[in-house]
Amino acid sequence: MGADTRMKGRNGTRTADVMSAVRAKVAGRALGAGDRLPSIRSLAATMDVSPSTVVEAYDRLAAEGLIRARRGSGFYVSPMAAPPLALAEVEPRRDREVDPFWVSRQSLDADAAVLKPGCGWLPADWMPEAGLRRAVRALARADERLLTDYGSTRGALALRRLLITRLAEDAVEASVDQLMLTGSGTQATDLVCRFLLRPGDTVLVDDPCYFNFRALLRAHQARIVGVPTTPSGPDVAHFEQILGSERPRLYITNSALHNPTGATLSLATAHRLLTAAAGHDLTIIEDDIFGDFEPERSPRLAALDGLTRVIRIGSFSKTLSASVRCGYIAARADWIEHLVDLQVATSFGGPSPVAAEIIAKVLIGGSYRKHMDELRQRLTRTRRDVARKLQALGIEPWLMPRGGFFLWCRLADGLDATAVARAALEEDVVLAPGNVFSVSQSASHFMRFNVAQMSEPRMWDVLRRALKSAPGITGS
């Protein structure tokens, strides 16, 4: 029995209004478990109702268990009133397939028989296997302290020094106190979000963007706003306008080989973007996880800005190993100091010394550069071949990226990508429908393809059938 049928007349409606207002505050976490509710007099004044209306509303909410009266001291939110942070329920789930967890959980938990052109990584046999095995064999002979002890709080110095050299190749100047290692690239982003954000803060992302940015920002209870992506980076006019109207605290982006579109930030866009950011005191996370796939280096925000308001993060999951977990943050030295405290508090110690040792060993060996050279060439051929095959099915790349393994494509005839993905999943093929990447849910007829995961003929058979079975959509 809803509030509407239970309460009659104007006073009843007003009581329901007060109850809704309190419920919204608890659901939205403005009032937490144990918090004192406003006094009856003050809430009556604020909501322009009589004190007796508030009394009735509080009594009803107490009967429901949402709040509790404490003798002589007013009303409090019940200990269990505020639900745990169930991410998949934070937003309405109109469509299970466009949930940002859909692709990650389907592809991470898939068994070996499942094909994954929707996933965000290379097949195992495209990775630098020989170098990894050499590094692990060397690890078996390492000093016993390396095998057993906690590492230093910023992570292994040898790997940090190596990363500083690599940052310099991107024209990003950093000193050793401006860099720390983390458990992964995502953990790096998460740590920065914990440092800078609080619930309700507005965060700007690209539209479309890497779907896990959306999942991560939900975990921070951030308000997510999207800026449209163009082939040369975010739409700067939109960006400037949003900075004025939405006052975001943070912007998260990939400059080089943007995920999912493959866009590359131009120097002019980078300059305008940083000028606008300075005017609004905006902090930027530049996630450079795909940087090593570039044929030649493109502009980085961190290089122009000099790590003042730009925080550079990265990892080795895409080029070296996703099983050996390691990421990094390069930022202002004073921020790194606080981020180290935060990492000690929340994961004790720095990242795994064993992981840092394996990564450093592979990077130092000359075989890594050779591997990346070959990988880039192989991907150039594969992107071209797959694009041609997709075009034959009416699936058109939005642009031909300069590097990497993604093709962001528009489906023919306004086909609904979610319906296509659902049909393919029935046949054990995980696709990545456009709207998992889109804050505005405006990518209904887009799909991201991972060209390195599309060599199986069965995948193409399934895709063809899925395209035929899916309904078209009218309008945008």
Angle at 425 between CA 419 and CA 430, to 5 degrees: 100
Closer residue to a second copy (CB): 242 or 409: 242
Among 21, 59, 74, 152, contact with a second copy (rule: CB under 8 A): 152
Nearest to 162 by CA among 4, 365, 318: 365
Question: Does 52 contact a second copy by CB under 8 A?
Answer: no
CB of 23 to a second copy, least distance (A): 16
Of residues 372 through 431, those in contact with a second copy by CB under 8 A are none
Minimum Å gap between C-beta 369 and a second copy is 18
Residues 401, 443: Cα–Cα separation, whole Å: 18
Which of 59, 173, 201, 235 binds a second copy (CB under 8 A)? It is 201
Which tokens is 143 given? 């000093």
* Footprint (CB under 8 A) of a second copy, residues 118-137: 121, 124-125, 127, 129, 132-133, 136-137
**Residues in 243-282 that interact with a second copy by CB under 8 A:** 246-249, 280-282
Q: Could you say which residues in the range 292-321 bind a second copy, by CB under 8 A?
A: 317, 321
**Segment interacting with a second copy (CB under 8 A) among 38-46, 233-241, 258-266, 395-403:** 38-46
- Return the number of the residue (390 or 431) whose C-beta is nearest a second copy: 431
For strands 327-330 and 310-315, give the pairing: antiparallel
Shortest Å distance, C-beta 394 to a second copy: 32
> Among 3, 62, 74, 202, which residue interacts with a second copy (rule: CB under 8 A)?
202
Residue 146 Cβ, how far from a second copy at the closest point, in Å?
Answer: 6
Q: Which is nearer to a second copy, 13 or 150 (CB)?
A: 150
User: Which residues ranging from 362 to 381 are in contact with a second copy (CB under 8 A)?
Assistant: none
Alpha carbon distance 245, 255 (integer Å): 24
Only segment of 50-58, 144-152, 407-415, 426-434 that touches a second copy (CB under 8 A): 144-152
Stretch that binds a second copy, among 194-202, 389-397, 421-429, 434-442 (CB under 8 A): 194-202
Q: Which stretch binds a second copy (CB under 8 A): 117-125, 268-276, 381-389, 451-459?
A: 117-125
* Among the listed residues 323, 391, 440, 476, the single contact to a second copy using CB under 8 A: 323
Of the candidate residues 60, 300, 325, 383, the single one contacting a second copy (CB under 8 A): 325
The residues near 424 (Cβ < 8 Å, ≥ 6 apart) are: 430, 431, 462, 463, 466
Q: How does 429-443 read in b/e, with b if 16+ C-beta sit within 10 Å?
A: bbbbbbbbbbbeeeb
At 280, the amino acid letter reads H
Q: Of the candidates 52, 346, 469, 476, which one interacts with a second copy according to CB under 8 A?
A: 346
Interface residue with a second copy among 49, 61, 216, 423 (CB under 8 A) is 216
Among 3, 342, 364, 412, indicate the residue that binds a second copy (CB under 8 A). 342
Total site size for a second copy, rule CB under 8 A:
99
Q: Which two tokens stand for residue 447?
A: 């799909």
Among 2-10, 172-180, 181-189, 392-400, which window interacts with a second copy (CB under 8 A)? 181-189
- The span of 180-188, 266-274, 397-405, 426-434 binding a second copy (CB under 8 A) equals 180-188
**Among residues 338, 369, 384, 468, which is the contact residue for a second copy, using CB under 8 A?**
338
